[in-house]
Amino acid sequence: MKTLRTRIADIIEMCALVAVPATLLWCAVRSYEHTALLTLIVALGSVLPFFLRFESAKPRPRDFMPIVVLAALAAAGRIVFGPLPNVMPVTAIVIVAGACFGKEGGFLTGALAALTSNMFFGQGPWTPWQMYAWGLVGFVAGVLFFGRTQSVSLVAVLAYGLLSSLCYGILLDSWHVVGFISPLNWKSALAGYAAGIPFNVGHALSTVVFLALIYKPWIKKIDRIKLKFGITSQS
């Protein structure tokens, strides 16, 4: 049974996740002057509830070690593919993390992979956005696939990989488009988004390839380790 506390935390998390696109939309419609600043702060704020929940949950070390390992793998993978900026294994690994360790685990893996890998790639205003976007990818993967890794078909996972990495790209581009292009009409917005298309398509395709290669074997290995060491997931 879920306690009242976890229920409230769940609701707060949902609100935080919805707040970002909602603010973007509101700013776009109202052509708000300080969009860039406001949305950046909202994105940063939306990540906080997850970390605060992690702080208060007091998890056992062996329950969060997988997050450490997967986030480090994602960051290391991003560094390996550094010369090809649109090939990012992070998205695929975050999806696996979400599928194996639930929505919170997925979110934390994504957000932490973004934050730590940027220590090597360079922090920037994109850091909060990447944290939010990759976190979201892991969160939704957790909602969709957690506990169903045996029954969900690979095609569904691949489709989610494709869609989620496109959404990731659109989210990141939105900050530039909504925040720095004014007045915003469909032509200027299109011009702004168009610049990111080659990048986003490359990212989406590479994610599908990565997922096709690693999803099944990784799930199998992680499931064995979860069983062997009694790792509990989904806080």
Partner 1 sequence: MPHLTCEKLSFSYPESPAKTIKEISFKVPAGSFCTLCGPTGSGKSTLLRMLKPELCPNGTLTGKRTIFERDIASFAPEESASLIGYVMQNPVAQIVTDSVWHELAFGLENLGVPTQEIRRRVAETAQYFGIQSWFNKKTSELSGGQKQTLNLASIMVMQPKILVLDEPTSQLDPIAAKDFITLLNRIHNELGCTIILAEHRLDDVLPLSDVVLFLREGHLDFQGERQEFARYVYSQAFEYRHYLPVATRISFMAHDRVGKMHEENDVALTRFAFTVNEARKNIETLATDISVKQEARFMSAQETHAHYGTDSPRVLEAKDLWFRYKKDAEPVLQGLSLRVQKQTIHAIVGGNASGKTTLLHLLADGLKPLRGSVKISKGERRGLLSQNPQTMFIKDTVIEDLLEVAGNSAQAHTEALEQLKAFGIEHCSLSHPYDLSGGEMQKAALAKLMLINPSIVLLDEPTKGLDARAKQEFGTLLLRLKAQNKTIVMVSHDLDFVAQYCDECSLIFNGGITSSGPSRSFFEHNTFYTTNAYRATRGLVEHCVVFEDYMRYIKALDKSEGKIER
Partner 2 sequence: MRRSLFSLAHPAVIFLYFCAVIVLCMSTLNPAFVLLSYVGASALAIFTSGLRRYGKTCLVFIPVFLVITLANALFNHLGETFLFHAGPLRLSLEALIYGATSALMLLSVILWFLSYQNIMTTDKFLCLFGRIMPATSLIMSMIFRYIPLLANRGHEILMSQKNLMGDVPRKKLQSLSYGARLSSILMGWSLEQSIETADSMRARGFGSHKRTTYTPFSFGGFDVVALMLLAFLTIISLYNLIVARADFMFYPYFSLSLPHALVTTSYALLLLFPFLVELKGALSCRI
Binding-site ranges for partner 2 (CB under 8 A) = 33-34, 36-37, 40, 51-52, 54-55, 58, 60-62, 64-73, 75-77, 79, 89, 108, 112, 115-116, 119, 122-125, 127, 176-177, 179-183, 185, 187-188, 191-192, 195, 209-210, 213-214, 217-218, 221-222, 225, 229
The contact mask relative to partner 1 for 212-231 (x = CB under 8 A, - = no) is -----x--x---x---x-x-
Taking the C-alpha atoms of residue 231 and residue 62, their distance in angstroms, rounded to an integer, is: 6
The contact mask relative to partner 1 for 180-219 (x = CB under 8 A, - = no) is -------------------------------------x--
Residue with tokens 């999803």: 215
List of long-range contacts for 156-161, beta carbons under 8 Å, 24+ apart = 157/95, 157/99, 157/211, 157/215, 158/208, 158/211, 158/212, 160/95, 161/91, 161/92, 161/95, 161/204, 161/207, 161/208, 161/210, 161/211
Is residue 62 near partner 1 by the rule CB under 8 A?
no
Q: What does DSSP assign to residue 150?
A: T
Give 5 or 62: the residue with its C-beta nearer to partner 1: 62
Give 1 or 69: the residue with its C-beta nearer to partner 2: 69
What is the nearest approach in angstroms of partner 2 to the Cβ of residue 171?
A: 17
Residue 149 binding: pick among partner 1, partner 2, none (C-beta 5-8 Å cut-off by kind): none
Residue with tokens 């932490």: 112
Residues between 10 and 39 that touch partner 1 (CB under 8 A): none
What is the nearest approach in angstroms of partner 1 to the Cβ of residue 123?
A: 17
Residue 52 binding: pick among partner 1, partner 2, none (C-beta 5-8 Å cut-off by kind): partner 2
Q: List Cβ neighbours of 151 (8 Å cut-off, separation of 6 or more).
A: none
As a 3-state breakdown, the chain gives helix, strand, coil percent values, each rounded to 5, of 80, 0, 20
What is the nearest approach in angstroms of partner 2 to the Cβ of residue 155?
A: 18
First to last CA, the chain: 12
Helix (H, G, I), strand (E, B) or coil at 149: coil
Contact residues toward partner 1 (CB under 8 A) are 217, 220, 224, 228, 230
